[in-house]
A and B are shown apart, each in its own frame.
Chain A
């Protein structure tokens, strides 16, 4: 199929959220409150409500033509999810409009609507219908779905008895057999183990090759690079760049080093810090060579992780454990500082820096996890993820092809080939 007319045409899309809506844990609207404010300070309440709004998306315009595979990249909070929700018709925009042609399937999550009490078979039909497949369509693809998920033996078992892996495989299998004209996919590939992810990415590639239009949101720049012909960079709710995928990724990387670096690649816990037993964590930063906090690194660059913490009482033999793991939870490596030897730390603030050499990590998303302990004595702060960063760029696996490279790490190794 060749590229045709526009299947998605977004013009000046904008979405405003009341801050309470965006952070629903904090804000609860009650009938009682509403009646009170309506009766007493109707006017004032309205003015205050206007001040408490943010634009998650502002003046976003672009077109997707039939057969195109477009990636959407951007930092957390850049407006990617909001855009997908509007294009999938889950919520309506505050202003502007989008014109959508043909049958659209959106996968903002896999396994939407799965019911734990129902069997695998029943859930395939349930989930398929929710995703917009007709019963006859599901029946036709049923065997294919089941064999893709590799759960033949457990078809008539309630899914509450499934392992997480089986559950995810079945959920993705249904989603993968959805065949709309346009597929809108959110970060759903960030689930499951590496082998399963590979299978999913392969399936996505198939979809793209079959001439279907795909809108693909991902943090996995490698996947965007290999699947998408074009990418849109969102930032602060606006389109910052729209062009060829590799150029968009380059723009995103360059941009994140400066403006976005202030927000990303670091976390701070306010004046009091994050409190643990006898220890307070003040901040964790992921820094480049120049001491700038960043969320994106080239594969060849060294990465410095700086940990700032405060010791409340004199402690002996603290060990700071740094764990770098992938977004999917596989541990890349674990490292610890030298203070394990009987060193005594009087109360006060400390920083510890660990340098991860360049040409070690693979091109993917990583999480920085930390724990503090006195080995064999007690745990001071349990293992928890704090910051994430992405590695992208040229790569150091020795191959010049831009394909996604498997592996948790990808060290630059010495290869020698001799003719005998």
Chain B
């Protein structure tokens, strides 16, 4: 460690934990680069490269949440099924009383299938949104790219989705609804729902730290959001082109319709899906920029 590294080796993008892909760690000190700690200004995106280098911590945090959730197996799996199942039963009753059209599909299948992407979105949004506050004991004591906290916390919702999806296949079997061939595209829609949740969740997590009253408002907004999404109704009941585009601005509506298309073979969402995709990307980028701004002084605010 006696050689003084030259100033030219300066490089702000350094991963302190995994210096280069090389195997050994302590000896690499003199070759490792330098971190400059200073006040950053302006808007920029978080250092995704650095976040990637912390992927091991990311998985540790994600598996921690999963382990804790499914430690009591019955409760963990039960909860993943109970939530969509009970909503499905409730919606089915509402549609029977209110004569809401499900376009000729068994309402049980129609609603349960619609609830899955919605719950994936809503649950990962809510855990991601609260994740920074929930991890304040970590954030105020150790450095790591903060971005991995909201993302890792949302992973559990994916597992819940997988469990609930198995139940969907069983329900479809029971009502003799065959899966459509385009079901192979389902992962794309799952990814979309997850990205939409991250887009809003990452921003929300930072907003939650900056303004403490947001956490009381967020669940209420999510509730209302459900009714702006074609879960309880079908988007074919929304007439007029501009209304369909407006519905597409709600990024999760394209996803819900997309999932129904690829699992149940319902009409494919065209324009709304394109609008949804664009909205998700815009929200995700804006959210990352805002997150980075709050991240720098996060430990002081918690």
Contacts and interface: CB of A to CB of B under 8 A. Distances in A.
B139 to A, nearest CB: 8
Interface string B273-302: 000000000000000000000001111111
A101 B140 CA distance: 22
A274 interface: no
A273 interface: no
A54 interface: no
B143 to A, nearest CB: 4
A9 to B, nearest CB: 9
Given A103-B29, A117-B68, A131-B142, A31 B3 contact: no
Nearest to A5: B4
A129 B210 CA distance: 28
Contacts of B64: 115, 118, 122, 126
Contacts of A92: 37-40, 296-297
Contacts of A103: 16-17, 19, 25-26, 28-29, 32
B184 interface: no
Contact of B300 (A17, A32, A98, A122): A17
A137 interface: yes
A67 B2 CA distance: 9
A134 B300 contact: no
Contacts of A133: 17
Contact of B137 (A29, A85, A113): A113
B57 A5 contact: no
Interface string B189-207: 0000000000000000001
Nearest to B58: A129
Contacts of A98: 36-38
Interface in A112-142: 112-113, 115, 117-118, 122, 125-126, 129-135, 137
Interface size class of A (residues with CB under 8 A): 35 or more
B6 to A, nearest CB: 10
Nearest to A113: B138
Contacts of B17: 103, 132-134
A133 B17 CA distance: 7
B1 A181 contact: yes
Contacts of B38: 92-93, 96-98
Given A4-B1, A89-B143, A129 B60 contact: yes
Contacts of A88: 142-143
B135 to A, nearest CB: 8
Contacts of B60: 125-126, 129-130
B37 A95 contact: no
Contacts of B18: 134
Contacts of A3: 2
Interface in A64-119: 66-67, 85-104, 106, 108-109, 112-113, 115, 117-118
Interface stretch (B116-124, B211-219, B239-247, B256-264): B211-219
Nearest to A3: B2
A179 interface: yes
Nearest to A10: B37
Contacts of B68: 115, 117-118
B141 A90 contact: yes
B141 A108 contact: yes
Interface string A328-361: 0000000000000000000000000000000000
A58 to B, nearest CB: 14
A94 B4 contact: no
Given A4-B1, A4-B3, A181-B29, A99 B36 contact: yes
Contact of B5 (A5, A95, A113, A181): A5
Interface string B9-21: 0100000111100
Contacts of A131: 142
A37 interface: no
6 contacts: A1-B2, A90-B141, A99-B34, A99-B36, A100-B34, A118-B64
Interface of A: 1-7, 17, 21, 24, 28-32, 34, 66-67, 85-104, 106, 108-109, 112-113, 115, 117-118, 122, 125-126, 129-135, 137, 179-181, 211
